[in-house]
Structure 1
């Protein structure tokens, strides 16, 4: 019984070390863009290759940060995680992943294409930050708006669109769809 308690204690300590290491890595990644911006704005003859090199570079009036980590962690920094790499794909040279869009129109009558284009023009005029996507999947014309990674962003867009176009409010809702990245 004492052996089992000792084993569990060591396992818990190992798990805690892993959690702390992961937390430090995530903090480093989160701060990476800030440090990258600071490093690129200062006058360097040689730009740092990685966040680890950037943090370890001595500059007048600044401290030096030393990070100790396994080579595997150092190599993994800056790459898309395994979980996300499977979600991101390329279609026609455009990076896409599963996300959310706002459906503003769906119709299958003779005037559906014209109606969808009319709504797209109105949305582009009132909300130029939102990209409109008109699609046809027989027999329906659909107008989708935006590329949202989170449901919360899409819900906020729904609120804005319903406020701007109250006559369309019944037809406006969030749908899951492939979204474009970096546009």
Structure 2
């Protein structure tokens, strides 16, 4: 049933496969960050207003939620602005999302470098592996995409969103697009 639900979400909203977070298989729920804020600003609950991400009271976990939400909404430039405000620029989560935003912005070689750095920090980063596999698909290299799928499964990621997303992209013959 879960696979059917995820398949339906991917078919009706393919961006969902692109901006799923590290600990959550569900698409982010829209908040004031995407409903109200513009130009890379994020909602600050303390002031009940949109403010620059580097001036907010948010911590990196809150910023990561905003990055996911903005990326899911297709607001790649805004997501990159929030990424720039992250305190821990060397975390595998930040590196993974830098790869994602670079890939979606057409900076494909930069994307590869970010994914590689994320996997150096954390070889078990299943999301980075899924995105890297999709990068390989976009380059036409099904063998390397399948290798990432195998790695995801070997690292305990069977039936997770990164595994399902990459498997479906391989089956369809192309990386996820929106």
Normalising by the smaller structure, the TM-score range is under 0.3
Q: Normalization by structure 1: what TM-score?
A: 0.21
Q: Normalization by structure 2: what TM-score?
A: 0.21
Structure with greater proportional helix content: 2
Structure with greater proportional strand content: 1
